[in-house]
Amino acid sequence: MLSIRSIPAASHRLDLRASGLVAIAKHGSALRKLNDAFRHRHVSRGYLALVRTWRAVTAQTIEEPLATSRGHVQVDPAGAPAVTIVKPLGFDPDNGVALVALRLQSGRQHQARVHLASAIGAIVGDRRYGDLLNDASRIALHAGWISWDASIGLSAVTFQSEPAADFWSLCPRTLAIPANWSSEIGLQDDAKTLES
């Protein structure tokens, strides 16, 4: 018989209709260590997103506090601090779409979606935060990279996952993921560098 301590559980979540990697602990002590690692920023996460924009995207750091009001997350000066690093990977001016890599230095609900919509443009397929041009069954946001080091009391790991065909079906054929996308945004740095 399984005890409550041996039931696998996720230490974080992905937004509904997004794709990618989720860290799942096999037992309670590992879950506590993972939760502490996320809380203290010992976990490095990277995302890919397709964004609606008619301007070329520049490398930038979005530092906008976020708050939830009536179930909707928004930029709010009185909100919790949130930092997202953005690196452009491709731009298709004819279709008004950019491919970007993201590194979240905080883990607020809908952080990537709200930061991108506020500073650059809505994620393709994300009607909630402004993409009115697409009725896709998913949003073009993919959690493609996760890593932590042994300092959290677990084995050091790095996982990388390429987006599936349904992500690329939202992307013009003129955009392609660079082979070195995770190193482009510094995701292969030691996860400890996220502490600041």
Catalytically annotated residue among 15, 76, 126, 149: 15
- The answer for residues whose C-beta is within 8 angstroms of residue 155's C-beta and 6 or more apart is none
With the CA atoms of 70, 15, 166 and 131 taken in that order, what torsion angle do they form, in degrees rounded to the nearest 10? 30
134 residue type, one letter: N
126 catalytically annotated: no
**Catalytically annotated residues:** 15
